[in-house]
């Protein structure tokens, strides 16, 4: 009985974590419609995302790194254009 309770609690935790991950990544209206019309698929998706998905900190860190890389490329391009115009 205790093992079943632990498994159910873990499943619930992972599902909620996956649901929050979906809401962070996609449009909330689309997520709600996805859950209403395709619940079995959406639930499996939430569970898998909850177990294997990135944490919020990892997602923020990755976005910050991408933004820094983009800013660096923009700065390089500006320097190239500045040199060509001289």
pLDDT digits (tens, 9 = 90+) for 50-83: 888 777 777 788 888 889 898 888 888 888 888 7
pTM of the model: 0.61
- Please report, for the chain, the start and end positions of each structural domain, with discontinuous segments joined by +: 1-53, 55-86
Residue with tokens 């991950």: 21
Give per-residue pLDDT as tens, 10-39: 899 988 888 888 888 888 898 999 989 998
Distances (CA, A) of 65 to 23, 44, 51, 60: 22, 30, 24, 9
């Amino acid at each position: 009985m205790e093992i079943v309770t632990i498994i159910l609690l873990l499943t619930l935790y992972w599902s909620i974590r996956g649901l929050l991950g979906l809401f962070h990544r996609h449009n909330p209206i689309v997520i709600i419609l996805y859950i209403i019309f395709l619940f079995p698929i959406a639930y499996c998706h939430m569970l898998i995302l909850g177990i294997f998905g990135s944490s919020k900190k990892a997602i923020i860190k990755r976005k910050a790194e991408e933004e820094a890389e983009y800013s660096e490329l923009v700065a390089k391009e500006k320097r190239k254009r500045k040199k060509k115009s001289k």
